[in-house]
């Protein structure tokens, strides 16, 4: 879906599809350099990271493995509840593996902090985080993020996997959702 289809729902477009693709390609090259010669597993966080994970993986010029987890800390609202639940766990044993968690956004940091700790307890060789977006002003928990697409203001954003009540995920751009939509 193009942003022109929902322009009355958006305050502005922060990143276009082209900008997102270019940034993901840059992140893939950086990850490839850092993990040259190492077996790499990227773990996408469902559902929001589907677009990021797919396009990031396609940007790699090498083999890698992918797995998925589903965790929840939002419910149906616009703010994190802080209580993390695993809805779908990994199918892959990560002991001794280099793992990169791929997410679309880091908001409060509560979910990723918990998830990093959880995966770290499974004896991986390493666990790092790659996120397309991070909201530094919204962080409530320090999270060491190795790969960041962009830092953004503490606004409610949608598109490219980011949703509001399961809508806008298929928007090709990322934009700030207008308050009248969720107020």
Active site residues: 107
- Do residues 173 and 21 make contact, with C-beta atoms less than 8 angstroms apart? no
- Identify the burial level of 84 via C-beta atoms within 10 angstroms of its C-beta, where 0-12 means exposed, 13-18 middle and 19 or more buried: middle
Cα–Cα dist 92/89, whole Å: 9
Cα–Cα dist 52/54, whole Å: 6
- Do residues 45 and 99 make contact, with C-beta atoms less than 8 angstroms apart? no
Phi, psi of 98 (to 5 degrees): -90, 120
Q: What share of residues in the chain are helix, strand, coil (percent, to 5)?
A: 30, 30, 40
Alpha helix ranges (H) inside the chain? 17-34, 50-59, 110-120, 179-182
Cα–Cα dist 134/108, whole Å: 9
């Amino acid at each position: 879906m193009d942003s022109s289809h929902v322009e009355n729902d958006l305050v502005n477009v922060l990143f276009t599809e082209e900008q997102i693709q270019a940034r993901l390609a840059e992140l893939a090259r950086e990850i490839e350099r850092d993990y040259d010669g190492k077996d790499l597993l990227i773990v996408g966080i469902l559902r929001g990271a589907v677009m990021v994970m797919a396009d990031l993986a396609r940007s790699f010029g090498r083999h890698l493995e992918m797995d998925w987890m589903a965790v929840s800390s939002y419910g149906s609202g616009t703010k994190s509840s802080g209580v993390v639940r695993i809805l779908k766990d990994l199918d892959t044993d990560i002991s001794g593996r280099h793992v990169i968690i791929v997410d679309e956004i880091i908001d409060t940091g509560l979910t990723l902090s918990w998830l990093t700790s959880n995966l770290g307890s499974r004896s991986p060789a390493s666990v790092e985080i790659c996120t397309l977006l991070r909201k530094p002003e919204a962080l409530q928990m320090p999270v060491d993020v190795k790969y960041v697409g962009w830092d953004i203001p503490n606004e409610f954003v949608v598109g490219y996997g980011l949703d509001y009540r399961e809508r806008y995920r298929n928007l090709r751009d990322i934009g700030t959702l207008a308050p009248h939509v969720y107020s």
